[in-house]
Amino acid sequence: MTGLRVVRAGFVMNLKMLATSSFFLVTSTLQPVIFATIAFYMFRAGGQGGTLLYAALGAGMMGVWSTTLYGSGGMIQWQRWQGTLELSAGSPHPLALVYLPFTLANALTGAYALVATLLWGRLLFGVPLHLVHPFQFAVAVPVAILSLGLMGLLLASTFILYRYANALSNLLEYPVWIASGLVFSTSILPVWTRPISWLLPPYWGILAIRHAALGGSAWGPIVAALALGAAYGLLSTVTFGIFERLARDQATLSLT
């Protein structure tokens, strides 16, 4: 019961903090719209106007990933700057539980990106918003966001040891966009990248959303995204414990 209260309070608190961060709002709304615009023009120039919804969904998911990533890297760093990381580590709850609502709020904020790109595509480029399986779409979107949030939690745990977490966040943005095939099929990537794609929740998330929106069964990718998300969530409880202990040993918890 107390655990649920921690999740609820942390979730609401972080949503409020994110809503006042212009950096976050720009990342979650403007950036995906920029990428969506480029993708629209590129697909249109290639004579593939029918794939604009495909591009819009992908650009939206790019935004979800960016906000999750910046949020995960940023939340440890921000707490360091604000001097609250030690207080969080000293609370009686496991650190993973303390940060779970933060990363979920980050991912949910990223959902703005999906909405923003779909609206942008509809209003400026006339992208049809006809969904083949609306119910599956309604399930696929929250599952994708949840799985990304849980992956973000795992990343956040590693950032406890790393002083330059924000830089690492920047570095991971493009590779995951590429390996997940958010705006193109992963079949055009080198074969050796396939196993990497399979380990990424955004890969299954976009597959689920794409199937639900454009045709094909989304249930398989939805289950895969859920399973992968759960695995990352469990793994993060272990890594949070290890990295927190290491940071305490080396007295690096509050180093900025």
Partner 1 sequence: MKGLRVFFVGGLISYRALFGFLSLWIFVPALILTPIFQILLFAYIGRAAGVGSDEFYVIGNAIQYSSVPCLFAMTQTIADERFWQTLGPILISPAGRLPLFLGRALPVIVNGLFVAAFSLFVGGLLLGTTLDGATWARLAPVLLVGAFSCTGLGLVNAAIGLRVRETAVLSNVFVGLLLIFCGANVALSTLPGWMAVISRGLPLTHTIEAARAVAAGASLASVRGLLGREAVVGLAYAALGVAMLRFFEQQSRRHATLERV
Binds partner 1 (CB under 8 A): choice among 14, 29, 31, 67: 31
- Asked if 38 is part of the footprint of partner 1 (rule: CB under 8 A), the reply reads yes
Please give the Cα distance from 54 to 218 (Å, whole number).
15
Q: Please identify which residue in 188, 195, 249, 251 interacts with partner 1, judged by CB under 8 A.
A: 188
Per CB under 8 A, the list member of 12, 19, 26, 230 interacting with partner 1 is 26
Q: b/e string for 198-233 if b means 16 or more Cβ within 10 A?
A: eebbbbbbbbbbbbbbbebebeebbebbbebbebbb
Contacts from 220-225 at CB under 8 Å and sequence distance 24+?
Answer: 221/140, 222/136, 222/139, 222/140, 222/143, 225/143, 225/144, 225/147, 225/201
Q: Which residue in 70, 99, 105, 106 sits closest to 84, CA to CA?
A: 99
| Sites for partner 1 among residues 199-228 (CB under 8 A) | none
In whole angstroms, how close is the CB of 170 to partner 1 at the nearest point? 5
C-alpha separations of 15 from 79, 125, 131, 147 in Å: 15, 31, 29, 18
Residue selected from 18, 39, 156, 207 as contacting partner 1 according to rule CB under 8 A: 39
Judged by CB under 8 A, the stretch of 21-29, 78-86, 148-156, 211-219 that binds partner 1 is 21-29
Q: Please report how close the Cβ of residue 75 comes to partner 1 at its closest, in angstroms.
A: 17
Binding partner 1 (rule: CB under 8 A), the pick from 15, 17, 34, 97 is 34
Give residues in contact with partner 1 (CB under 8 A): 22-23, 26-27, 30-31, 34, 37-39, 41-48, 51, 163-164, 166-168, 170-171, 173-175, 177-178, 183-185, 188-189
